[in-house]
Chains A and B, each alone.
Chain A
Amino acid sequence: MKNRGRRSEPMTRRGKRPRQILMMVLLFFLFRAVPLPGQEFKLFERTVQVHGFASQGFIHTDENNWLTMNTARIGSGEFTDFGANASMQINDRFRVGAQLYDRNLGALGKWHPSLDWAMADYRFKTWLGFRGGKVKTTAGLYTDTQDLDFLHPFALLPQSVYPIDMRDATIGHFGGDVYGQVSLPYKIGSVGYTAFVGYREDSRFSGYPYLLSQYSTQVKGVNGLQHGVDLRWNTPLPGLLVGASRIDEDISTEGTTKLQVFGTTITMPLAAHSRQEWSNQFYGQYLHGRWEVAGEFRRYFADIRAVYFGQSLLEFEDARGWYVSGAYRVAKRWQFGSYYSRYTVASSGGGTDSNLPGNHVFDKVVSGRIDPNRFWNVRVEGHFMDGTGHLGVYPAGFYPQENPSGFKRNTNALVVKTGLNF
């Protein structure tokens, strides 16, 4: 029997209206095939560039509802996002800009707009620059672009490394970056570096708070300090890039949990704090002609002290994910790709046996992309998944709220997504 899921809240008029407007805009431009160049205008004799994007997706699964959507019956189109930015080059070295972002992904996002980035960037030298403000985090190949699917061959990046429901946990920080590019001697390429210190603040409408809501827990905040470094080597072989990233964090989760005791609702505080929390990421990418090959490994470890109902508990999660991907541009407007993604998790809740479906998600993906013009893209993608990864402390795409009858081991998914960008 297919899991029918349970809508956690009715579709509100507030949620319906932006989606209807967005669909009308998308349909207008699709049928008109109107080119959408980025806009420029002058302000105080400086050029301001304005760019934007919007995308609409649809997911159908044969078993298990996925990514907080009711995908297992007809499917779900609650898979929308859009954003716009403006930036200005003040002088040769100094640039400012900002981007707003909004999305609805099933029970996540819920049309609550956010400041995606807003920063000042001063490039003192090629080997030394500074960024400050709300900054997208440089880590791995795609951390800073993980929600910009029009930049990638795939509608969904490998979820083992870039889980779309946990976007907030990695994508950006309030703080500052030091960065630069250094040419190496003896023609062995160049190294790019980024080091950052910042404050992470997750949306209340992201995956982890939603996962906790199954326990009548309302999360008020997931936030804390983080610092990290990324090093990437542009090797002497043209098109080959290898790199490594490390992020250390000190994250706190606060909220309340409701408990029914003899017919009386008791509200108790919830607090969790990381004693140790870090991630390591290793990656490589090769771009040559029509080919694009990439691979990454990411390990995330969290050792958490949580206080529930006055009791102190120790929790841990050790999640390891990796993928290998390849994409080939058949013609200027056609691209095909595939990847194998593997995610395993050991945790205080699920134990260490990665053979359990609740402790892994293995995903085989095939994808086709067409760009009818420079501004419009369409992706059709198949996912063939083994496992649900739901036993970890943090979500892995499969939520009990949408699967109240339990999980089936395998899930096959059809993902169709279209988008515009200018």
Chain B
Amino acid sequence: MAKEVKLILMAVTAVVLVSTRPAWAGGMKVIANPSVQAASITLAELKSVYMEEKNSLADGTHVQPVVAKGGAAHEIFLRMYLDRSDPALQIYYRSLVFTGKGSMPKAVQSDAEMVAYVAKTKGAIGYVTANASVEGVKVLEVK
């Protein structure tokens, strides 16, 4: 009986460990203002937009990044698309601001604030958790 208990405990532990990994796929979605004509964006383009290396997409649409100040979507976005921690990203933006080579992107507190800002701002691109309401914005597929 003790052996069976141990096996059950090990199985439960394994399930818990697996289930607490970050939800990479489907954990968040990239959204854009309806003025953004593209239905999809490449990973490289998305990263370039958030690194302020480019401010327009391949189709010529001007875009501006919006970042979250924290939260699950923010952590997933940083790891999946920018491969930087939040402190590293903040330092990067500040290096642009204090050398005159860029500006601090708009930062929002929540999914609701993100959707509201992206919906009303021409060219805005942001990200929210997978189950957030996306009324007023479009969802971009990341290729």
Contacts and interface: CB of A to CB of B under 8 A. Distances in A.
B88 A287 contact: yes
B100 interface: yes
A87 B99 contact: no
B103 A95 contact: yes
Interface in A89-109: 89, 92-93, 95, 97-99
Interface stretch (A115-123, A249-257, A407-415): A115-123
Interface stretch (B21-29, B54-62, B112-120, B128-136): B54-62
A208 to B, nearest CB: 24
**Chain A interface: which size bin?**
35 or more
A290 B56 contact: no
A72 interface: no
Interface in A138-152: 144-145, 148, 150-151
Nearest to B45: A183
B66 to A, nearest CB: 14
A185 interface: no
Given A49-B103, A92-B55, A181-B53, A85 B85 contact: no
Contacts of A145: 95, 98-99
Given A126-B54, A126-B56, A181-B48, A83 B86 contact: no
Interface in A34-91: 38, 49, 51, 53, 83, 85, 87, 89
B85 A329 contact: yes
A181 B52 CA distance: 10
Contacts of A220: none
Contacts of B101: 121, 131, 136, 144
Nearest to A88: B103
A38 B104 contact: yes
A4 to B, nearest CB: 37
B94 A151 contact: yes
The secondary structure that dominates the A interface is strand
Nearest to B69: A374
Contact of B98 (A99, A121, A131, A190): A99
Nearest to A119: B100
Contacts of B103: 49, 87, 89, 95
Contacts of A263: none
A69 to B, nearest CB: 25
Nearest to B83: A238
Contacts of A92: 55-56, 62, 123
Given A87-B103, A144-B99, A190 B48 contact: yes
A101 to B, nearest CB: 10
A87 B103 CA distance: 8
A38 B86 CA distance: 17
A144 B96 CA distance: 10
Interface string B91-113: 10011011111011000000000
Which has the most chain A C-beta neighbours within 10 Å: B88, B95, B100?
B100
Contacts of B98: 51, 53, 83, 85, 99, 145, 148, 151, 421
B90 interface: yes
A51 to B, nearest CB: 5
Residue among A49, A97, A183 facing the most chain B CB atoms (10 A cut-off):
A183
A289 B85 contact: yes
A272 interface: no
Interface in A178-235: 181, 183, 187, 190, 192
Contacts of A287: 83-84, 88
Contacts of A289: 83, 85
Contacts of A98: 100
A87 B88 contact: no
Contacts of B44: 183, 187, 190
Interface string B20-56: 0000000000000000000000001000100001111
A100 B122 CA distance: 32
Contacts of A374: 90
A377 to B, nearest CB: 10
Contacts of A371: 87
Given A126-B56, A183-B44, A190-B53, A51 B83 contact: no
A248 interface: no
* Most chain A CB neighbours (cut-off 10 Å) among B62, B87, B91, B99: B99
A332 interface: yes
A144 B101 CA distance: 10
A192 B48 CA distance: 12
A131 to B, nearest CB: 8
The 8 closest A-B pairs by CB, nearest first: A126-B54, A92-B62, A181-B53, A144-B99, A136-B99, A238-B83, A117-B100, A151-B95
6 contacts: A38-B97, A117-B100, A125-B56, A190-B44, A290-B85, A329-B85
Interface of B: 44, 48, 53-56, 62, 83-88, 90-91, 94-95, 97-101, 103-104, 123
Given A144-B99, A145-B99, 6 more contacts: A51-B104, A89-B103, A121-B100, A131-B100, A239-B83, A371-B87
